Structure 1
Amino acid sequence: MMDEKTGFGPKVQFEYDIAQTPDVLTARILSQEVDLAALPINLAAKLYNKGVDYQLVAVNTWGNMYLLNLGSDINSWADLKGKTIHSIGMGATPDIVFRSLLNANGLEADKDVFLNYSLEQVELANAMAAEKIELAVLPEPFVTMVISKNSGIVIVMDLQEEWYKAKGSEIPIAQGGMVVKKEFAQKHPEVVKEFLQQYAASIEWVNHNLLEASILVEKYGLGMSAKIAEKAIPRSNIRFSSAGDARKAVESYLQVLLDFAPESVGGKLPDAGFYY
C-alpha cells in the first residue's frame, strides 16, 4: 500500500511508519499517537485487557516461526533433549509457541531443554549465521537471512506444522494482526472500510507477485534485500482475514496462550468488544 495511489480522497492521507522495536510501538499505542497499527495479536489482546481503546480489525500473519539447526542431527523433538536453544525475548510469541510445543511433545523447558534469551533478534540471526550457536527459533525474514549467509544451516522444524500436529488444524497460529483506534473507527468508518479493502488487495497482490513485491520491500527500506524478501514472503504466511471472520481462530489461539502463559494475553480472553 505504501507504493499505491489510494482512493481515500483528497482529505485523507495516511502516513506509514515502522517502529524499530515492540516497545516503541506499544508506547505509541498507549499514547494513542497511531490510528492503525500492525502488531502481534497476543499483544493486542494484552493491551485491550488493560483498557487501551484499540480494536482488532484484521489478522494478517498466520505463523512465520521456524527452528534452525547448524547441521542435520535434529530429526525429532526427542533429539532436542539436553540441547540449548536460543530464542528472542522471554514471553514473546516465538517463545510462547515454542515452549508450548515442547510441553506438547513431552519436553520441559529448563529441565530437558535449555532456552537462552541473551540475544536480540538481529544479534541472534548474526550469531547463528556465524556458527556461534547451533539451534535457534527465529521468524521470517531472519530465517532466510541466516540461510542465505550459511548453507550449512537448515530448517529442521516448521513450527506452524508442529503446532497443527499438537493442537489440531482448527487452532491456527493467528500470530499478527491490525488494530484500529476505536475513536478513529467511530469517526471515520468509511475510511477504515476502504483501508481494509485496499489492505486485503495489497496482501493478495504481494502473494501473487513475489518478484515485484520484493523489489518494493527493498525500495522502501524494510530491512532486507529484494532477493531475501522473495524467498521469505512464502514462508511468512501472510493472508488477510477480517477480525469478524477470524474471531473463532483468534479466540482458540489466545485460549492456548492463556492456558500456557496467562500474562501473554493479559490474564483473560478479550471480550466481544475486542473485535471490530
Structure 2
Amino acid sequence: MKSFQKGLALCLGVLLTLSLAACGGKSQTETPASEEQFTPAAYRIAALKGPTAMGLVKLMNDSDERMAAMLDSSKPYEGELSNTYTFTLAASADEVTPALIKGELDMACVPANLASVLYNKTEGEIQVLAVNTLGVLYMVENGNAVSSMADLAGKTIVAAGKGSTPEYALRYLLRENGIDPDTDVTIDWKSEHSECVAALASGAATIALLPQPFVTVAQTKMENLRTALDLTAEWDALDNGSALLTGVIVGRRQVAEENPAAVDAFLADYAASVDWVNDSAADAAALIARYGIVDAAPVAEKALPHCNIVCITGDEMKEKLSGYLNVLAEQAPESVGGKLPGDDFYYGAQ
C-alpha cells in the first residue's frame, strides 16, 4: 500500500492556502454562519479492490481533478472550498487495518464483521460510517454438480477472505443447511480472490466462492464457468431477520469528533459517487478501469449490476448492520471481536 505522506501534505497545504485566502477576502460580517461551521478536512482513505472502490471511483476522480485545479499556478482556483481526499487501493484488509489503527489512515473500507473486530480491539476508537456493499458473494462452478447448498457436501471449495465476511457467511450457510463446514466439505483458503480465479482457470479447482467483480473476471477467462449459487439469496431464504452484508467504511473516532461537519460532507460526497456509479455504468466502468480496480472497462460494466453498491448511513445502517452482526455473534463470537459493539459504534445513528 503506497505512502500517504506526499498526498496529505499537498492536501493540507492547499487547504491552508485557500482558507487564508478566504479569510482575507471577506470580513467577518460577510461570512454566513453555515460557512463558519464547516472547516474542510484532508482525509486519507483506503479501499479494497472490488465493489467498495468501485463505489468511490467518481469521488476519486473528482478529487483528483479538484486537486489539479487547486495546484494549477496559471490561474486562480475558483471552485468552492471543500474536503480533499487522498485515496489508496489495497488487495486485502490486512494491508489496511494496521495503518488505520496507527492513525496513518482516517477512513477505510473493510469487511462488515472486521469493523466490529476493530471497534473491540481499539476499545471503541473505530466507528462505522456507512454500509457500502450488500451481498456480492457467489458460488461458481466449472460443471453442473451444484444447484443447492446441500450439493456442496463432500466437495472442495477454493475461497479467499478467511477470518472475514466470506468465511463467516459460508460457514453459517453451510451449517444452516445441515453441512458441517469442518468435516463435510474441504475449504481451500487462498490469500486473495485472484488466486481463486487462477485455480479455476488452471483446472486445479472446479468450485470457488467469489465476490463480484471477480465472478465476472473469472467468467471472461472461462467460458463454461457458471454461477451456481447466490449467497445473498441463500441467506434471504433463511428468513432470519437480517441481511447479508459485505462491506462498510469505518473511520477513527478522533477524526469524526474533531470535525463532524467534514465527515458528514464526505458521506454526502460518497453517496453522490455511489448514485452516479449505479446510474452511469458505462462511464463508471471507464473510470474503474482507469484506476486499475478492474482491468477492463467491459468487465467492470458487466459486473456493476451485480455488485450491490450502496451508501447506507445513520439509523438504517445501524438496523441492517446490527442484525447481521447479531447473526455472526451467535455462531462465532470471535467473528465480531468477542462481543457486539456498543451503540456508539454507529456514527450518526440514534
Measured against the shorter chain, the TM-score band is over 0.9
Task: State the SS of the aligned residue for 1:86.
Answer: strand
Aligned to 1:274: 345
Deviation string 1:167-224 (CA, Å, 9 cap, x unpaired) is 44x4111221111221111222211111111110110111111000000001112242
Q: Which moved more, 1:99-108 or 1:50-59?
A: 50-59
Q: Does residue 1:2 correspond to 2:74, yes or no?
A: no
- What letter is aligned with 1:136? A
- What letter is aligned with 1:253? Y
| Structure-1 separation of matches of 2:109 and 2:251 | 9
Residue from 201, 213, 218 that aligns with 2:289: 218
| Structure-1 separation of matches of 2:89 and 2:207 | 29
CA contact (8 A) 1:36 1:180 kept: yes
Measured at CA, do residues 161 and 11 of structure 1 come closer, stay the same or move farther in structure 2, by a change above 3 Å? closer
Residue 11 of structure 1, CA deviation: 7.0
Q: Which moved more, 1:1-10 or 1:61-70?
A: 1-10
**Structural RMSD (CA):** 1.8
| Structure-1 separation of matches of 2:82 and 2:271 | 22
Structure 2 gaps, min length 5: 1-58, 67-77
Q: Does residue 1:142 correspond to 2:203, yes or no?
A: no
CA contact (8 A) 1:68 1:154 kept: yes
Query: Residues 115-126 of structure 1 correspond to what in structure 2 (within 5 A)?
Result: 115-118=187-190, 120-126=192-198
Aligned to 1:36: 107
Measured at CA, do residues 11 and 3 of structure 1 come closer, stay the same or move farther in structure 2, by a change above 3 Å? closer
- What letter is aligned with 1:20? A
Residue 60 of structure 1, CA deviation: 0.7
Q: Does residue 1:133 correspond to 2:205, yes or no?
A: yes
CA contact (8 A) 1:42 1:264 kept: yes
Higher relative contact order (CA 8 A, sep 6+): 1
Q: Answer with 1 or 2: which has the greater Rg.
A: 2
Q: Which moved more, 1:68-77 or 1:141-150?
A: 68-77
Aligned to 2:31: none
Measured at CA, do residues 8 and 26 of structure 1 come closer, stay the same or move farther in structure 2, by a change above 3 Å? farther
| Structure-2 separation of matches of 1:258 and 1:41 | 13
- What letter is aligned with 2:230? D
Q: Does residue 1:53 correspond to 2:111, yes or no?
A: no
Structure 1 gaps, min length 5: none
Q: TM-score, normalised by structure 2?
A: 0.75
Q: Does residue 1:251 correspond to 2:322, yes or no?
A: yes
- What letter is aligned with 1:180? G
| Structure-2 separation of matches of 1:44 and 1:219 | 29
Query: Residues 180-219 of structure 1 correspond to what in structure 2 (within 5 A)?
Result: 180-219=251-290
Q: Which moved more, 1:179-188 or 1:65-74?
A: 179-188
Deviation string 1:82-137 (CA, Å, 9 cap, x unpaired) is 11111114322111101110111111113222211156321111111232211110
CA contact (8 A) 1:59 1:243 kept: no
Aligned residue pairs: how many? Answer: 275
- What letter is aligned with 1:66? Y
Query: Residues 53-132 of structure 1 correspond to what in structure 2 (within 5 A)?
Result: 53-118=125-190, 120-132=192-204
Task: State the SS of the aligned residue for 1:27.
Answer: helix
Q: Does residue 1:23 correspond to 2:94, yes or no?
A: yes
